[in-house]
Amino acid sequence: MAPPLLHLRDIGLTFGGRPLLEDAELAVGAGERLCLVGRNGSGKSTLLKIAAGLVEADRGTRFVQPGTTVRYLPQEPDLSGFADVRAYVEAGLGPGDDPHRATLLIEALGLTGAETPERLSGGEARRAALARAIAPEPDLLLLDEPTNHLDLPAIEWLEEELRGSRSALVLISHDRRFLERLSKATVWLDRGRTRRLDRGFSAFEDWRDQVLEEEARERERLDRRISQELDWVRYGVTARRKRNMGRLRKLEGLRAERRDQRRAVGTVRMAASEGAVSGKLVVEAEGIGKRFGDRAVVEDFSIRIGRGDRVALVGPNGAGKTTLLSMLTGALAPDTGSVRLGTNLEIVTLDQRRESLSPTATVADTLTEGRGDTVIVNGEARHVVGYMRDFLFTPEQARTPVSALSGGERGRLMLARALARPSNMLVLDEPTNDLDIETLDLLEELLDDYAGTILLVSHDRDFLDRVATSVVLAEGAGRWTDYAGGYSDMVAQRKAPAFQPAKAAAAGVTARPGPVERAAAPKRKLSFKEKHALETLPKRIDALAAEIAKLTSKLAEPDLFSRDRKAFETATARLAAAETERAAAEEEWLTLEMLREELEG
């Protein structure tokens, strides 16, 4: 077996007295495709920097096969010191690398090369850094959140480019679809240690759940052993002192083992504060248009959005998604046409740039808006520290300024503040930015349960498939088309790719045939909510059946009506309702069971 191109062994690193990495390991062979996954703050980016040679671990070894070329994409590329994008990209080339390929990649990613660093947006800086990393065609590519700040055309182009590359890959990303299509093995960084699964990301979540369930069972076994030893210490028959001390040492050892077990990080608990019910009609736009100079951003667009709809706006950066969103919510008047908003709307907006967060405000003040130490959620007062814990913030972070938070923490803070406000319409502009996969799961579950209307902009294809009931696609030249279903449904209805990366085609850069076969479309799985319903519905049906039997027996009493007419009417009404509920529960269970059999079959 060939030695790995890169091997990190027994890596340990401590930040601020807390161990971040403990005996972590990462081995990458030629042509391998790994994804590195874990919660925000688990140390993924730090481990990747150690792999790139940018951070030195406290202990452990880093081995790179002699002659191996390694390129690293940071989350926040630094272009300072370079005259323009072209100089920055070409500085990453090695002896013998083709400068012409650098030019092609710059153009394929929508840049000219003449842009100066100080005038670049976050997305443009990320594109320049991608071109610099990919252009040399290195033996090993280390990519930290490569899809951040990229629009869907750029993500799909990058996906094809990497699929055709012969470079080994290590990817960190929150984009499920991206990971599923590119990864062949998964390294899970959890509580400072790494575990490896020699399968792609599509198999990771089931495997992770099995690992965590086994850990929970092991903790239960350990707790039982500790309890047994405590019982012996308290109530056991006195024996030889040597034996007693041995049992006490055993108990102390078990307690130490229990203390040393680092439990999995808790889960985010989300619940949206829902306002009063809106009218059935939420938004009606007729023939609206918007131009900026000679450029048409929206041209003769009409849509009717009802209560409970989840509408996603999709298109390249600069297509006008935020402009259209602003017109549909009444924040921006159209040049032509009209927008009518429904009655009783309570709108809460989550902006993509986190600009509404004051960098000097503390986490607690951001959530309470500087008024005391309580947050009102669904009409109930909660202490701000308890509410913070629901979003994985520690009590010590209550007085932490927003400027000191990571990107993922700022994302969770924006969600926590937005969801505390009563609403019947959520406007979400790139809500998935910087959120880890587990938090995304919970956000999707929350939106699934949300009774109001949702308007969203996102470049996350998996998120769009799970949340949206319709997709409004930018077709170009100000034209927008409304498609039923999620992102995959939209692509199927078009019978053509949603985007054609024209600059890439013009530059002659195409996805090259490579050693990686096209991954199959991710298999549909039961959602957490569907699994939970399958498990709990039978108990609900049995409980309703017992209640129906009890009510029927009560109504059979011959003198009930004459003795207690009110009790008779209450029991009759409840019996009808219980029978309706049981029929609905049985129908739901049957539908889910048929779906489960279809998916598993």
Nearest to 407 by CA among 357, 476, 464, 333: 357
The answer on whether 320 is annotated among ligand-binding residues is: yes
The answer on whether 318 is annotated among ligand-binding residues is: yes
**For 137-240, where are the alpha helices, taking DSSP H only?**
152-164, 176-182, 204-235
Q: Are 245 and 266 in contact (CB under 8 A)?
A: no
The answer on whether 45 is annotated among ligand-binding residues is: yes
The answer on whether 39 is annotated among ligand-binding residues is: yes
Contacts with 450 (C-beta within 8 Å, 6 or more apart), sequence order: 272, 274, 426
The answer on whether 123 is annotated among ligand-binding residues is: no
The answer on whether 458 is annotated among ligand-binding residues is: no
The answer on whether 317 is annotated among ligand-binding residues is: yes
Nearest to 233 by CA among 256, 261, 255: 255
- CB atoms < 10 A from the CB of 328, how many? 26
Q: Are 393 and 266 in contact (CB under 8 A)?
A: no
The label of the residue with tokens 């400027």 reads: 403
Whole-number Å distance between alpha carbons of 48 and 453: 40
- Rounding to the nearest 10 degrees, give the CA dihedral for residues 197, 203, 205, 207: -50
The answer on whether 273 is annotated among ligand-binding residues is: no
The answer on whether 40 is annotated among ligand-binding residues is: yes
Q: Are 167 and 145 in contact (CB under 8 A)?
A: no
The amino acid present at 570, given as its one-letter code, is: T
Contacts with 119 (C-beta within 8 Å, 6 or more apart), sequence order: none
The answer on whether 316 is annotated among ligand-binding residues is: yes
Residue 261 three-state SS = coil
The answer on whether 44 is annotated among ligand-binding residues is: yes
Residue 512 three-state SS = coil
The answer on whether 358 is annotated among ligand-binding residues is: no
Q: Are 457 and 433 in contact (CB under 8 A)?
A: no
The label of the residue with tokens 């039997």 reads: 549
Distances (CA, A) of 34 to 26, 170, 181, 434, 456: 10, 5, 11, 20, 31
The answer on whether 27 is annotated among ligand-binding residues is: no
The answer on whether 508 is annotated among ligand-binding residues is: no
Q: Which residues pair with 141 in a beta bridge?
A: 71, 169
Known binding residues are 38-45, 315-322
Known binding residues for ATP are 38-45, 315-322
